[in-house]
Amino acid sequence: MADARSVAYVRTQAAPVLPPPALSDGALGWLRANLFSGPFSAIFTVLAVAFIAWVAPGLIRYLFIDAVWTANDGASCRSPEVGACWAYIGQKLPFFMYGSYPREWVWRVNMTLVVGAALIVWLLAPKAPAKQIGAFLFFVVYPLLGFILLSGWEKIGLPKIDTDVWGGVFVSLLVSAVGIVVSLPGGVLLAMGRRSTLPVVRIASVIFIEFVRGVPLITVLFMANFMLPLFLPENWTPDRLLRPLVGVSLFASAYMAEVVRGGLQAMPKGQFEGAMALGLGYGRLMRLVVLPQALTKVIPGIVNTFIGLFKDTTLVAVVGIYDFLRAVDTARLDPVWAGPNISTTGYIFAALFYFIFCFGMSRYSQYMERSLAKDRLR
Amino acid sequence: MNETIPQAVDGDMAVELSGVNKWYGKFHVLRDINLSVRPGEKIVICGPSGSGKSTMIRCINRLEEHQSGRIVVDGVELTGDLKRIDEVRRDVGMVFQSFNLFPHLTILENCVLAPVWVRKTPRKQAEEQAMKFLTRVRIPEQANKYPGQLSGGQQQRVAIARALCMNPKIMLFDEPTSALDPEMVKEVLDTMVSLAAEGMTMLCVTHEMGFARQVADRVVFMDAGEIVEANAPGEFFANPQHERTRAFLGQILH
């Protein structure tokens, strides 16, 4: 010790703890780091601020200040000075939500949506208890309940309501939910099939995936619409809503299969070997060891596919299904409301609806990724 | 296939390889391997890289398939029969160079996974047993952490505990210390030494010659896919018979 102290370069006192220089901390530091970190960054910041300053006032005026909030018909929305016609959205909201579903039975749709939302929250909330029960209710009980509620069952006093009159947001959500719920397990099975060592399974999976992925969704929907009945016994005509549901599910499964396969490819061989060496058979090895890791790795891709699927459901309109966008598109032709702002308002509303759902999915997936990464620190 | 291994001892041996051959494509990785391991025996396998050591012990739990010859593990011959393979794997623990812990499960979950799903042990009992083995490898306090939070040496000790939770009759070690920092090698080797002292049948691919001297009943030297020499460690190190063995030992012992 005495020797060390006498050497010139050995510190004898702890270095003082100093506050950071003003420019690297606080609001000023944040500005510098995030907005003006270099010449390009500074130029883009200025341009972006200029753009916002240019666009925002008009947008705010159109959407809020000049907007018509209450009206009984389109008269007050037709003046060229006014902005968005929110009164029209308010009036048409039931049509946007339920299509032509009989108004006195709309509670059946609402109940289906509320129960579904509650179950989804139960399943997705990170610390919710008894998820197995929740999963059973959502994947087994809920589809039956939803089917009975929506399409009716005379025996318990719910008259049958034909899918011809279903429409609006609830059909969009229905098609997306079915597509999402079918495509994940379907994609997992197809991905595992494509990696199978059994040639028949592998070739069948490859043909299915490549064929379905190789044609546009519209083609798949037309095929489901016109060809599905040909494959079925003559006396059984599939419901006209069921056909696009099948089409969308097949299409999404093929895409999902490739996303999941990406995750499986990324798994180190050691994980398979470690599980095999413990005596786990193929099924348990996949279910307990490989899939939980592989699916976590590809959460961004899975959610990407879900978001794509959610927006693609608008295409079911081509086979005559009244989804939300089609409802918006039809409502604007109503002569009571017709006017220069009606279409714009309707499409802004539709855009907001899709954005809120897609952005919600994206945020949830980011949150999931973060919380999974925090748990495992790798 | 080979007369020096009498058929009668089949049932008595823990592991028996007779006339085993294996090819990767045209490359002949294992050439006429004959090796019998008695229950309780500790075998250390060494040799230059690419000599087929790992491939040989991976054949014993059929992570690799052999193409000719016989491999009998604890009385069960390994064939294409998947049921038998799983039967063998249940009773043969394996520790890998890269640990192969499951990163999405905690240490405790790693240890109870196979007992619960493969042996159908009740979870509570499996957890008690797992804690017992984690205590034995001296990391019970890490039970609720994830593998990524542990050092390499700790992870490898967990891997040993995980294998032991299946109550294996035979343990295979495939270069268990090669991926570790020098200061962590000892903690893993100590665990292996104490396991050996308890009478476990062990086959261990390693370059740790100190370990070989201390615990091995026999040291097997492999080169170019064949067993060149097998001898008790004292004799093996003091008096290597074969030119290739002498060259190899000359390179790793100083």
pLDDT band at A224 (very low <50, low <70, confident <90, very high): confident
Sequence-separated (6 or more) residues with CB below 8 Å from residue A210: none
Residue count of chain B: 254
- Maximum Cα interatomic distance, chain A, rounded to a whole number of Å: 102
CA-CA distance, A355 to A307, in Å (whole number)? 10
Final residue of a structural domain among A296, A312, A331: A331
Q: In the prediction, which pLDDT does A107 show?
A: 92
CB contact under 8 A, B63 and A277: yes
User: pTM (2 decimals)?
Assistant: 0.84
Estimate the share of chain B in helix, then strand, then coil, as percent rounded to the nearest 5: 40, 25, 35
Burial of B136 (0-12, 13-18, 19+ CB in 10 A): middle
- Do A151 and A273 lie in a common domain? no
CB contact under 8 A, A279 and B89: yes
Question: Which chain B residues are within 8 Å of A375, Cβ to Cβ?
Answer: 146
Question: Which chain B residues are within 8 Å of A299, Cβ to Cβ?
Answer: none
Looking at the domain assignment, is residue A53 inside a domain? no
- Do A179 and A316 lie in a common domain? yes
DSSP state of A76: G
Contact A100, A118 (CB under 8 A): no
Contact B203, B216 (CB under 8 A): no
CB contact under 8 A, A375 and B146: yes
Of B38, B32, B77, the C-alpha closest to B56 is B32
Nearest to B96 among A270, A376, A378 (CB): A270
Residue reference for tokens 């009606």: A342
- Do A215 and A286 lie in a common domain? yes
Looking at the domain assignment, is residue A73 inside a domain? no
CA-CA distance, B5 to B34, in Å (whole number)? 8
Nearest to B114 among A270, A278, A377 (CB): A278
Final residue of a structural domain among A134, A160, A186: A160
Distance of CA A81 to the CA centre of its chain: 37
Looking at the domain assignment, is residue A288 inside a domain? yes
CA-CA distance, A323 to A332, in Å (whole number)? 15
CATH code for the domain in which residue A242 is found: 1.10.3720.10
DSSP state of A321: -
Q: Closest residue of B to A376, CA-based?
A: B146
Question: Which chain A residues are within 8 Å of B146, Cβ to Cβ?
Answer: 375-378
Amino acid occupying residue B122: P
Looking at the domain assignment, is residue A344 inside a domain? no
CA distance A140 to chain B (A): 25
Best mutation site among A267, A269, A278 for testing chain B: the one with the most B CBs within 10 Å? A278
- Do A293 and A227 lie in a common domain? yes
pLDDT of A277 over the 90 cut? yes
- Do A144 and A184 lie in a common domain? no
Residue reference for tokens 């210390």: B177
Nearest to A271 among B86, B89, B100 (CB): B100
Looking at the domain assignment, is residue A119 inside a domain? yes
Q: Closest residue of B to A271, CA-based?
A: B100
- Side-chain-side CA neighbours of residue A265 (13 Å): 8
Amino acid occupying residue B137: V
Question: Which chain A residues are within 8 Å of B120, Cβ to Cβ?
Answer: none
Best mutation site among B104, B107, B111, B133 for testing chain A: the one with the most A CBs within 10 Å? B104
Looking at the domain assignment, is residue A369 inside a domain? no
Cβ pairs bridging A and B (under 8 Å) = 68
Token pair belonging to A55: 């666009």
- Do A189 and A326 lie in a common domain? yes
CA-CA distance, B37 to B60, in Å (whole number)? 12
Question: Which chain B residues are within 8 Å of A280, Cβ to Cβ?
Answer: 113-114, 117-118
- Do A198 and A280 lie in a common domain? yes
Looking at the domain assignment, is residue A256 inside a domain? yes
CA-CA distance, B252 to B254, in Å (whole number)? 7
Q: Could you tell me the strand order of the sheet in which B42-46 lies? A: B92-95, B170-174, B201-205, B42-46, B218-223, B226-231
CB contact under 8 A, B90 and A279: yes
Contact B254, B82 (CB under 8 A): no
Backbone angles phi, psi at A130, to 5 degrees: 50, 55
CB contact under 8 A, A279 and B149: no
The total domain count for chain A is 2
- Do A207 and A112 lie in a common domain? no
Percent of chain A exceeding pLDDT 70 equals 96
Looking at the domain assignment, is residue A271 inside a domain? yes
Nearest to B100 among A274, A281, A288 (CB): A274
Where is average pLDDT lowest: A231-235, A263-267, A291-295, B132-136? A231-235
Sequence-separated (6 or more) residues with CB below 8 Å from residue A16: none
Q: Which residues of A touch B (CB under 8 A)?
A: 268, 270-271, 273-281, 284, 288-289, 292-293, 296, 375-378
Sequence-separated (6 or more) residues with CB below 8 Å from residue B65: B22, B59
Residue count of chain A: 378
First to last CA, chain B: 40
Final residue of a structural domain among A94, A126, A160: A160
Range of the domain at A227: 175-331
- Do A146 and A189 lie in a common domain? no
Of A178, A179, A203, the C-alpha closest to A190 is A203
First to last CA, chain A: 42
- Do A327 and A182 lie in a common domain? yes
Percent of chain A exceeding pLDDT 90 equals 59
- Do A179 and A266 lie in a common domain? yes
Where is average pLDDT lowest: A126-135, A209-218, A362-371, B45-54? A126-135
**pLDDT single digits (tens) A12-28:** 788 888 887 766 667 88
Contact A205, A188 (CB under 8 A): no
CA A201 to each of CA A189, A206, A262, A327, B21: distance values in angstroms, whole numbers, following the listed order:
10, 9, 19, 42, 31
Token pair belonging to B43: 């075998």
How many other β-carbons are positioned within 10 Å of the β-carbon of residue A369?
15
- Do A199 and A300 lie in a common domain? yes
pLDDT band at B2 (very low <50, low <70, confident <90, very high): very low
Residue reference for tokens 């996974």: B113
Q: In the prediction, which pLDDT does B3 show?
A: 38
Question: Which chain B residues are within 8 Å of A298, Cβ to Cβ?
Answer: none
CA-CA distance, A62 to B235, in Å (whole number)? 94
Contact B148, A376 (CB under 8 A): yes
Q: In the prediction, which pLDDT does A5 show?
A: 57
**pLDDT single digits (tens) B234-245:** 999 999 999 999
Q: Which residues of B touch A (CB under 8 A)?
A: 61, 63, 82, 86, 89-90, 92-94, 96, 98-104, 113-114, 117-118, 146, 148-149, 162-163, 166
Q: In the prediction, which pLDDT does A22 show?
A: 66
